[in-house]
């Protein structure tokens, strides 16, 4: 199932679907991340940094809930 981990409702829907499909979830691998083109972080556009931060930090938090 596709999921935008930066959206807490989608992260919850992913959990719900997994629980529905498998009955129980014994192991949850919270391995989401996003980056764009390689390069120095200080050279990246602001909107890209924001997207990386939201996905990598908040996405991990939402997946851990």
Backbone phi and psi for residue 18, each to the nearest 5 degrees, phi listed first: -65, -45
Residue 63: CB partners within 8 Å, gap ≥ 6?
5, 11, 28, 30, 32
- pTM attached to this predicted model: 0.71
Residue 8 confidence (pLDDT) above 80: yes
pLDDT digits (tens, 9 = 90+) for 14-57: 999 999 999 999 998 887 676 667 778 788 888 777 777 778 88
**The pLDDT of residue 9:** 96
**The pLDDT of residue 34:** 67
b/e map 18-31, b = 16+ CB within 10 Å: eeeeeeeeeeeeee
Give the domain ranges of the chain: 8-64
**The pLDDT of residue 35:** 66
**The pLDDT of residue 44:** 81
């Amino acid at each position: 199932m596709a999921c935008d981990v930066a959206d807490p409702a989608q992260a919850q829907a992913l959990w719900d679907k997994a629980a529905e499909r498998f009955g129980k979830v014994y192991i949850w691998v919270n391995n989401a991340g996003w980056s764009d083109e390689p390069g120095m972080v200080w050279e990246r556009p602001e909107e890209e940094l924001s997207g990386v931060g939201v996905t990598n930090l908040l996405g991990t938090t939402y997946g851990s809930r």
